[in-house]
Amino acid sequence: MSSAELIGIIETEIPNIKEEFDTLIYETRLAVIFAQMRINIADIAIQALEKQGFALNECGFEENNMLMPYYIS
């Protein structure tokens, strides 16, 4: 591979990798924020139901994965 070919690859691939990485970081941050929102909403629902005499049996993310739905029973 010539120097010119190598420089061409670096000039095209590095920006592509950076863009993909930035997108991955953005999507990961959103996933964490959405997971936290689900927990917060569930906590408010649990507190309201406990005030009405209901008891919490179990709660958590399906398959213990923050990307999955949050369940309460």
* CA atoms of 70 and 64, how far apart (whole Å): 9
* H helix intervals, the chain: 3-51
Measured in whole angstroms, the distance separating CA 42 from the mean position of its chain's CA atoms is 17
Residues paired with residue 61 on neighbouring β-strands, in sequence order: 70
- pLDDT at position 20 over 90: yes
Q: Give the domain range for residue 38.
A: 3-72
Kindly report whether the global pTM for this prediction surpasses the value 0.75: no
| Domain count of the fold of the chain | 1
37-49 per-position pLDDT tens digit = 988 998 999 999 9
- pLDDT at position 21 over 90: yes
* CA atoms of 65 and 42, how far apart (whole Å): 16
